[in-house]
Amino acid sequence: MSSLLSITDIKDDVKDILELAVKIKSGDVEDKPLDGKTLAMIFQKSSTRTRVSFDVGMYQLGGRAIFLSSNDLQMGRGEPIKDTAKVLSRFVDGIMIRAIKHSDVEELAKYSDVPVINGLTDLEHPCQALADALTIKEHFGQCEGKKICFVGDGNNVSNSLLLIAPLLKMDISIACPKGYEPREDIVKTSLEYASENNTEVTITDDIGVALQNVDVVYTDVWVSMGDEAEQKQRELDFAPFQVNSDLMSLANDGAIFMHCLPAIRGQEVTSEVIDGEQSVVYDEAENRMHAQKAVLYYYLKA
């Protein structure tokens, strides 16, 4: 495997990576398998979970991580992405990038001679989806046969969930206002995966339909980074899609609540839900590190 830009890049390996994450979290791998390895971490967007989880994860695997903000790099002053990729490839064993544009990450990977890992773009958030899957697997004992409902914007998080769910034989529904649906190409690929794995994909603006037989209720902020100019309109459009106790009551008994964080209590989710017994958001946040350690092991161990 060369790079992880999308869940589609690990279509045939996602189950193996999750099993590896379970082993790594339990300590059932060799000590410091990435001794001597270095990861460059490029950040064009601010971060808490991505930065700390990759940094600590790389350290625990025996390697080291170098934080590089866009202001630290000549790329931020106009150096071509191609040159940045070629130069960094001479210094490090892998590159993780949290970028504004997915196309920039694709270009970086095109010219890089070392693996590139997508830490978030405007299109996908594959590492988050892996952490989410690991959390579901831990809570229920398996992913297969479960149903996840994402409530809110058809954004990068929902895109990656749409791709990973059918690969793990989970049903998935997206409940979103009209005009905020996930990208058509992502939905098309998700439906193809669902057909191959005998699962269901539903995109609807009817919350009641979306929440039928759901084991996991998932939401994200209404205004993602880059969408601030649309804030007032989005708050109006998404208000009926707030995850509250009434909405959670429509899910299965024993359903859990998930959120990739950061969250705005009182907007996309009420405090009663995110701080309640059904919430697993902190387990989910911790699992970013374990899932990403599996990704780092998979890509950098050789």
Per DSSP, the residues of 81-93 read HHHHHHHHHHH-S
User: Domain locations in the chain?
Assistant: 7-125+288-300, 128-284
pLDDT category, 227, cuts 50, 70, 90? Answer: confident
Structure tokens at 84: 């940045």
Q: What is the pTM of this model?
A: 0.96
Residue 285 CB partners (closer than 8 Å, separation 6+): 49, 131, 261
Beta bridge partners of 217: 149, 257
pLDDT category, 225, cuts 50, 70, 90? Answer: confident
Phi and psi at residue 95, to the nearest 5°:
-130, 125
Which one, of 220, 145, 134, lies nearest residue 175 by Cα? 220
Which one, of 302, 299, 255, 287, lies nearest residue 18 by Cα? 287
Structure tokens at 106: 């694709």
Q: Cα–chain-centroid distance for residue 235?
A: 23
Asked if 68 and 90 touch (Cβ cutoff 8 Å), the reply is no
Token look-up 């791709």 returns 163
Rounded distance between C-alpha atoms, residue 27 and residue 31, angstroms: 9
Rounded distance between C-alpha atoms, residue 200 and residue 193, angstroms: 10
CATH number of 128-284: 3.40.50.1370
Given this chain, do its domains 7-125+288-300 and 128-284 carry the same CATH topology? yes
pLDDT digits (tens, 9 = 90+) for 154-191: 999 999 999 999 999 999 999 999 999 999 999 999 99
Residue type, 180: Y
**Torsional sign, CA 74, 75, 81, 86:** positive
What SS3 state is found at 193?
helix
275-296 mean pLDDT:
98
* pLDDT of the residue at 1: 53
* pLDDT of the residue at 86: 96
Provide the residue count of the chain.
302
Rounded distance between C-alpha atoms, residue 97 and residue 246, angstroms: 38
In CATH, which of 3.40.50.1580, 3.30.590.10, 3.40.50.1370, 3.30.1490.20 is domain 7-125+288-300?
A: 3.40.50.1370
Token look-up 């205004």 returns 223
Asked if 182 and 158 touch (Cβ cutoff 8 Å), the reply is yes
Question: Catalytic residues, which ones?
Answer: 98, 125, 128, 220, 260, 288
CA distances (Å), origin 194, targets 165, 169, 189, 203: 8, 8, 9, 13
